[in-house]
Amino acid sequence: MIRPNYHELNFPKGLNLDILSEYLSDTQMEDLIIQCRDLPRKERRIILPSKACTRKVFFHYVWRQVLAGQADWKKIRKGFKEFGSTLADVKASKCDVRNCYIQREREMIKELK
């Protein structure tokens, strides 16, 4: 049987599989496609997060650490400075971080429904 490599196949451009293929090997891409090909379209869909979504999810994680007592706000601010950045550079204050946490919590409750 003829067995082409993933890169030899011409999938439709609209699927944007080229993005995944930059990070997965041919065999990983093949395994992923075979594993998911019988699922309905909605279950096969992969959407990468936007910058705003990534920011919100990161701030949710940070505030969850603060609430759990695993980190304190001063250490978090200092951690940003160690990377040559500040919370102001990413346009965030303590209130913004807390609000992102609250918003993400609401979204997670909706996702469960």
**CB atoms near residue 100 (< 10 Å):** 21
Do 62 and 76 contact (CB within 8 A), yes or no?
yes
- Its sign, for the CA torsion 51, 64, 84, 91, is positive
Which of 28, 11, 19 minimizes the C-alpha distance to 46? Answer: 19
Q: For the chain, what are the domain ranges?
A: 6-44, 51-112
C-alpha span between 87 and 93 (Å, rounded): 6
Q: Closest by alpha carbon to 29, among 63, 52, 6, 9?
A: 6
Mean pLDDT of the chain: 85
- pLDDT, tens digit, 9 for 90 and up, residues 58-110: 889 989 989 998 888 888 877 777 665 666 666 678 888 899 999 999 999 99
pLDDT in tens, 17-55: 888 989 999 889 989 999 999 999 999 998 889 988 988
Note the pLDDT of residue 7. Answer: 79
Confidence at 11, pLDDT banded by 50, 70, 90: confident
Q: Would you put residue 49 in left (φ > 0), alpha (ψ -120 to 50) or beta?
A: beta
